[in-house]
A and B are shown apart, each in its own frame.
Chain A
Amino acid sequence: MKLVIQDISKRYRKDKYGLKDYSLTIENGILGLLGPNGAGKSTLMKIVATISQPTQGSIELDGHNILNEPDYIRRILGYLPQDFGVYANLNAYEFLEYIAAMKGVGGPGLRKRVEALLEGVNLTESAKMPIGTYSGGMKQRIGIAQALLNDPKVLIFDEPTVGLDPEERMRFRNLISDLAQNSIIILSSHIVSDIETIADEVAIMQSGTLVTKGTQADVVKQVEGKVFETVLESSRLTDFKAKHLVVNTSRQKEQVWVRYISDGPAEGSALSPATLEDAYLFLTHKNN
């Protein structure tokens, strides 16, 4: 499968863009979207999910323009929005069957599929309770289950790990790695480590534009040789921050350990291997 996003813009006011001239090609595998708040990640995902219309540009899935034929992607789409809700007075079975009807999924196997998914997200025991009584994490699992109802070929996960504990996050990552064999998966997260461990490719966004896109190695390469670590006296930290892009600090009595990005090392610094988080902070900072 191939999803081609070509020169997409979403303009709200004259000079206010949610996305600007955004182009991207995605093939089977996992694309991780990284970017600060307001970068346009959710806007891009909503446009691909056909619930928001761009001001200009085109999106083609296997040659079909989904802006003109939204139902082409809707049949094979699994979408987990960032801020979704549920009908509080339906139970998990009823809600998932309702969503299945929306997706055009039915037949005698539906009930079994719903049961299997509920088992997978470990909600079988509470499946007959109204969803209004669920905790935030349980609702998030219902969201994950609904995204998988229709054997999706395009999966869009907007901040999917919100509300999940570390073990659940690990299992979720396993799940989408499994799905990525035959599907396009677009995943956004504020947690760089979530993207780092599973994304085949990473796209960094800022202010509605694409800053960079490539494999993790390609992205990390842009900051290689620029990441250093040093130990300073605490009193020098403020001055140091003014001169360098500090990405991490750790206090140790009177001293402070500092990880920073710079074209050249400060005195007493040691070169450190770059990570995706370093690259992300470097590229978004550079763009500012």
Chain B
Amino acid sequence: MGAFYKIIISDYKQRTRSYAFLVTLAISLYAAYSFVPAPNAAYTTVRIGNYLGVQNAAWIGYVTAMMTSVFLSWIGFYLVSSGIKKDIDTGVGAIVATTPISNFNYLLAKTWSNFLVLLSIIACVFLMSITLFFLRSGAYPFQVTQFILPYLLVTIPSVFFTAALAVVAEVFLHRYTILMNIVYFFFFCALLSWQITVPSSFDVIGNKTVTTAMQQAVFQQYHEHGQMVSMGFIFGAKTHFHYFVFNGIQWTWQIIISRIIFVCFGFLLVFTSSTFFHRFEIEQKSKEKKKTKSAEIIPAAKPLRDIKLSALPPITPAYGILPFIRTELLMLVRKGPRWLWLINLGGMVALSLAPLTEAHQLVLPVLWFLQVGRWSDLATKEKTNRVHYFTYASYKPLSRLLFSQIIAGILMALALASPLLVRYMIGLQFLPILGIIMGGMFIVFFAVALGILSGGKKLFEILFFLFTYANVERVPFLDYYGGMNRGVNYTLLITGLIGFLACLSFMLRKIEISRV
């Protein structure tokens, strides 16, 4: 038991000492602060029809607990869903595989470690919610149970379930992280939709019990029945809202047991997945396969010969960036499976033949999203491949190499969009052309900036997916390529964003180069 505990704690320590954890913690605290809007704020987070709760202990405790439950059930998954992958990447997995630890115990340790990471965030948000109470609710008495109970019975079970689900997802989809992230997004959306139709006991996120109690409170105080529950950051004037008093809920044994069942279900999922856990054998197999291939094809290495440097052909100084751009393009093209290029070609044909609006609004963002794996490590691959020792010690690495990587990324974006650009050119429509060029530049700069900032590709992959999904759903706010928005203001906004991302990327890389 002591050893098991040490595995969990060591894993927890190495994960909480990451930059990504600190960023998520900071975002979580900011989000927690915004979960309870100030009286003069122009948005609401939880409301029942046209009714808002007065900001007493119960309202602040339950609202922050519910929002945290939703927030961490979604973002928390992305934060913790790389525990096993890290063991694979670092080679620690190979050592783990040779130890007596059982698959179940290993996965369970990962689950607990995931949970502890998320629990740390919950603890900070919990303290923030109490602080908010004292900032916002001077007239109401402080009742600590109104904070403890919702966090204990709403947030913690759902977050534990998320922690377990992250482990299970890694067991089955560890090789397809982008797919895993996308699948989870839709799964999470399904959970939210499901919440509306199922009884409280079947709601994983655990909010339905609370929102039902809130609806009942509105009914008791205003005799309004069936008011719709709205959750999220909803902007609009609050002048027409009425206020009701929410005093928390009576936690029955039935509700408590239903929450515990989700925790047990999490354990069960982990237990079941342990039967299918690769125990790092898949990775080893793939490495063996590669080595076998190399051993078969490459002739036995012969020893070094005597090299006379003076006898080598003379060199010519060449400080241009074209060779960089060429090689970066080569690497972009070769990255990922070859069959993806068939889909890309299909996408380009669709850009040529589909109605212009659909081609621009739907086909283009999806086609660009398919390149997520190519762009996501555009400026981080040096570090992940440990080539940065060469690149950072090269001549003018900022103005030559980083610039070339960005150019290569943009060229690829524009090459993929070329059928659409040609169609607009033929129609002499220059604003959409400008929108596409700016869009291509934006997404590449976005990838580079987020890559350098986060030190990995996950953040960009998730945000790029959300951007694409929002654009396919025609949310104008996240249109970065002129699919819905055209005009001078939009162009200026995107130009400003590109400028900001460019400055950020070059500044961060400059710092990074001096801090190897």
Query: Contact between A49 and B301 (Cβ–Cβ < 8 Å)?
Result: no
Asked if A15 is at the interface (CB within 8 A of a chain B CB), the reply is no
Please give me the residue from chain B that is nearest to A77 by CB atom: B393
A151 to B401, CA, bound (A): 21
Set of chain A residues within 8 Å of B334, measured between Cβ atoms: 89
Number of inter-chain CB pairs below 8 Å: 183
Question: Measuring CB to CB, which residues of chain B are less than 8 angstroms from any residue of chain A?
Answer: 290, 293-294, 297-299, 301-309, 311-321, 323-324, 327, 330-331, 334-335, 381, 385-397, 400-401, 513-516
- Nearest-Cβ distance from residue A133 to partner chain B, whole angstroms: 4
Q: Which of B301, B302, B385, B515 contacts A87 (CB 8 A)?
A: B385
Chain A, range 76-95, C-beta contacts under 8 Å to B: 77, 79, 81, 83-90, 94
- Nearest-Cβ distance from residue B293 to partner chain A, whole angstroms: 6
- Nearest-Cβ distance from residue A176 to partner chain B, whole angstroms: 10
Q: Which of A83, A108, A132, A174 contacts B306 (CB 8 A)?
A: A174
Query: Contact between B315 and A175 (Cβ–Cβ < 8 Å)?
Result: no
A106 to B303, CA, bound (A): 28
- Nearest-Cβ distance from residue A138 to partner chain B, whole angstroms: 6
Query: Contact between A83 and B304 (Cβ–Cβ < 8 Å)?
Result: no
Given the contacts A87-B331, A101-B327, A151-B315, A51 and B303 also touching, CB distance less than 8 Å: no
Q: Which of B313, B323, B388, B389 contacts A97 (CB 8 A)?
A: B323
Given the contacts A102-B391, A103-B394, A148 and B294 also touching, CB distance less than 8 Å: no
Stretch of A20-28, A111-119, A228-236, A270-278 contacting B (4+ beta carbons < 8 Å): A111-119
Stretch of A164-172, A194-202, A239-247 contacting B (4+ beta carbons < 8 Å): A164-172
- Nearest-Cβ distance from residue B379 to partner chain A, whole angstroms: 14
Stretch of A120-128, A204-212, A215-223, A253-261 contacting B (4+ beta carbons < 8 Å): A120-128
A137 to B303, CA, bound (A): 10
A71 to B394, CA, bound (A): 8
A10-34 to B contact mask, C-beta < 8 Å, 1/0: 0000000000000000000000000
Query: Contact between B301 and A113 (Cβ–Cβ < 8 Å)?
Result: no
Query: Contact between A168 and B303 (Cβ–Cβ < 8 Å)?
Result: yes
Q: Which of A52, A97, A119, A146 contacts B390 (CB 8 A)?
A: A146
- Nearest-Cβ distance from residue A36 to partner chain B, whole angstroms: 22
- Nearest-Cβ distance from residue A31 to partner chain B, whole angstroms: 19
Query: Contact between A109 and B316 (Cβ–Cβ < 8 Å)?
Result: yes
Asked if A266 is at the interface (CB within 8 A of a chain B CB), the reply is no
Set of chain B residues within 8 Å of A102, measured between Cβ atoms: 324, 390-391, 394-395, 397, 400-401
A164 to B302, CA, bound (A): 11
A179 to B316, CA, bound (A): 19
Set of chain B residues within 8 Å of A100, measured between Cβ atoms: 323
A51 to B387, CA, bound (A): 12
Query: Contact between A84 and B389 (Cβ–Cβ < 8 Å)?
Result: yes
Given the contacts A86-B385, A148-B309, A104 and B304 also touching, CB distance less than 8 Å: no
Q: Could you say which of B318, B394, B397 has the most chain A C-beta atoms within 10 Å of its C-beta?
A: B394
Please give me the residue from chain A that is nearest to B323 by CB atom: A101
Set of chain A residues within 8 Å of B323, measured between Cβ atoms: 97-98, 100-101, 106
